Chains A and B, each alone.
Chain A
């Protein structure tokens, strides 16, 4: 029974690798399969950011097109396509709300976060793993302020200064909440890994 997660992970890795190879060969059916595998999670993430189903669908389309156009730069053997696709989805959505709100973006850090080379040697099938549930439960356990700063940072792409202004709190307080929240999530995930 304990071999099941390992077998599933191996299967996901092989399936993702084969899928990326087919994307690199420009097979549209591979894009369809990629959408079937990750379309719903990308949509949920984008919808959480933009809170508009019509715009969310447009941005999901952009996300998959970007992956289609940049698949050549992806490492078939080591790459984790799900995490990469989710990073692209997040960046597209935050780009949109920043443009719509007339806000400048943190260009350098942001562009770096969805480069395919960054998503290598990660746990295969991570988005289908039990860790998603663990992190979701960990987020629920955070204090209201800690949860809010994680949401503002991850789902709205705000800097700590922007968060402080939005929340009407001193910058130092916001920084403390951000660090405590990230540490709590890291510890919960670490504890799960130890007990697994």
Chain B
């Protein structure tokens, strides 16, 4: 197959969507250093880079993220919590996969799968650890919401010093192109709600979301959730599906 016959397949290849026989043909051309195919693949990757670069986020990541990244390479001190334990578990998984696996191709597939699974578990367990800390905080109070409605319902754990933890059930997965957005509802009349981030509920309708950092109950009345477009909006555009009032700890 010559290069011109592959013209429509370079982007598919770069996306992992190319099929046989074109996929093998492109591989063969690239392996033998075909300049046309190498150039076309660069162009295809540039196009996909631009597709990725065209994503818009209404709000930037939190200012803490930069610090977290630098701390993780040793530029700043930071508590590691569960990470060493979980990293150890990951290594054990990988070692077990290598030891017990079958053929070489099975090894690599299994290692990749376990690595991805462990990575997701590390993220989930780190969040659970944070959630437990917040639930057990000395100044944490709990309020329930949605008890008189069929859905959604749940609890808001609020710690003035650490933040808030929202746990909800009966919250249906957001439709395609939509996501749930959290809001801090101010006490002052006429003041605008402040964005608290986007999240998704699980397929079973449950959701857990942590709002990190101090929240002042003197100025914030409640935490609310609305359904919005998945890139987020600057102000709520729909009726809240959850409104959970903040309850200050008794003095």
Q: Return A89 CB to nearest CB of chain B, in Å.
A: 8
Question: Are A160 and B16 neighbours in the complex by a CB distance under 8 Å?
Answer: no
A76 near B: Cβ within 8 Å?
no
Contact of B16 among A48, A60, A113, A134 (CB under 8 A): A113
Question: Are A51 and B65 neighbours in the complex by a CB distance under 8 Å?
Answer: no
Given contacts A60-B61, A135-B54, is CB(A51)–CB(B230) below 8 Å?
yes
> CB-defined interface of B1-40 with A at 8 Å, one 1/0 digit per residue?
0000000100110111100000000000000000000000
Residues of B within 8 A of A83 (CB): 45-46, 49
Question: Are A53 and B174 neighbours in the complex by a CB distance under 8 Å?
Answer: no
Question: Are B47 and A189 neighbours in the complex by a CB distance under 8 Å?
Answer: yes
B238 near A: Cβ within 8 Å?
no
Question: Are B61 and A56 neighbours in the complex by a CB distance under 8 Å?
Answer: yes
Residues of B within 8 A of A135 (CB): 47, 50-51, 53-54
A98 near B: Cβ within 8 Å?
yes
> CB-defined interface of A115-147 with B at 8 Å, one 1/0 digit per residue?
000110111001100011011100100000000
Given contacts A32-B75, A95-B119, A111-B112, is CB(A123)–CB(B51) below 8 Å?
no
Residues of A within 8 A of B210 (CB): 54
Question: Are B112 and A107 neighbours in the complex by a CB distance under 8 Å?
Answer: yes
Q: Return B90 CB to nearest CB of chain A, in Å.
A: 13
> CB-defined interface of B67-92 with A at 8 Å, one 1/0 digit per residue?
01110111100000000000000000
Q: Return A121 CB to nearest CB of chain B, in Å.
A: 6
Highest count of chain B CB atoms <10 Å: which of A40, A54, A56, A183: A54
Residues of A within 8 A of B187 (CB): none
A36 CA to B45 CA, complexed, in Å:
23
Contact of B209 among A41, A54, A182, A183 (CB under 8 A): A54
A176 CA to B37 CA, complexed, in Å:
23
Question: Are B16 and A109 neighbours in the complex by a CB distance under 8 Å?
Answer: yes
Question: Are A110 and B16 neighbours in the complex by a CB distance under 8 Å?
Answer: yes
Question: Are B65 and A182 neighbours in the complex by a CB distance under 8 Å?
Answer: no
Question: Are B47 and A95 neighbours in the complex by a CB distance under 8 Å?
Answer: no
Residues of B within 8 A of A10 (CB): none
Residues of B within 8 A of A122 (CB): 42, 45-46, 49
B52 near A: Cβ within 8 Å?
yes
Residues of A within 8 A of B57 (CB): 40, 43-44, 47-48
> CB-defined interface of A57-73 with B at 8 Å, one 1/0 digit per residue?
11111101100100000
A56 CA to B65 CA, complexed, in Å:
10
Closest to A51 in B: B179
Q: Return A138 CB to nearest CB of chain B, in Å.
A: 9
A39 CA to B15 CA, complexed, in Å:
23
Q: Return A110 CB to nearest CB of chain B, in Å.
A: 6
B96 near A: Cβ within 8 Å?
no
Given contacts A43-B61, A61-B68, A183-B8, is CB(A100)–CB(B75) below 8 Å?
no
B116 near A: Cβ within 8 Å?
yes
Contact of A53 among B42, B108, B198 (CB under 8 A): B198
Closest 8 CB pairs between A and B?
Answer: A109-B16, A28-B75, A53-B197, A44-B57, A99-B120, A136-B54, A135-B50, A83-B49
Can you identify 10 A-B contacts, CB atoms within 8 angstroms?
Answer: A29-B75, A31-B73, A47-B55, A82-B53, A87-B49, A127-B53, A135-B54, A154-B15, A154-B51, A178-B12
